[in-house]
Chain A
Amino acid sequence: MLSRRQLLAASPTTLPLFLALSACKGPAVLSAPPTVSPQTQMLLHAVTAELNLIWVYKQAGAAYSGLAATLQPLLAEHQAHLAALRSRVIEPPGKRLPATVTVRPALAATQAGVLTQLRAAEQAAVHTLMSRLGGASPSLAQLYASIAASESVHVTVLSTRIGR
Chain B
Amino acid sequence: MGTPSPTALAALQGALAAEHAAVYGYGVAGAMLTGRQQAAARAGWLAHQLARDTLEALLTRLGATPVAASAAYRLPFAVTGRTSAARLAAALEDGVTRAYLGVVAVNDASLRSFGAQAMQAAAGRAHAWGGKTEAFPGMPATQG
A74-B133 CB under 8 A given contacts A84-B144, A141-B105, A146-B139: yes
Chain B minimum-CB-distance residue to A157: B133
Taken together as a complex, chains A and B put the C-alpha atoms of A130 and B120 apart, in Å, by 11
Q: Which of A74, A80, A146, A156 contacts B138 (CB 8 A)?
A: A146
A134 CB within 8 Å of chain B: yes
We find that the number of chain A residues with CB closer than 8 angstroms to chain B is: 28
For A143, the chain B residues whose CB sits under 8 A away are 136, 139, 143-144
Size of the B side of the interface (Cβ < 8 Å), in residues, is 28
Distance in angstroms from A146 CB to nearest chain B CB is 5
For A135-152 the 0/1 string (1 means CB < 8 A from B) is: 000110111111111101
B interface residues, Cβ below 8 angstroms from A: 97, 101, 104-107, 109, 112-113, 115-117, 119-120, 122-124, 127-128, 133-139, 143-144
27 contacts between A and B (CB under 8 A): A84-B143, A84-B144, A126-B120, A133-B112, A133-B113, A134-B112, A138-B104, A138-B105, A138-B106, A141-B104, A142-B104, A143-B136, A143-B139, A145-B101, A145-B104, A145-B115, A145-B119, A146-B138, A149-B123, A150-B137, A152-B123, A152-B124, A153-B124, A153-B133, A153-B134, A156-B127, A157-B133
Q: Which 7 A-B pairs have the closest CB atoms?
A: A134-B109, A145-B116, A138-B105, A80-B135, A149-B123, A77-B135, A152-B120
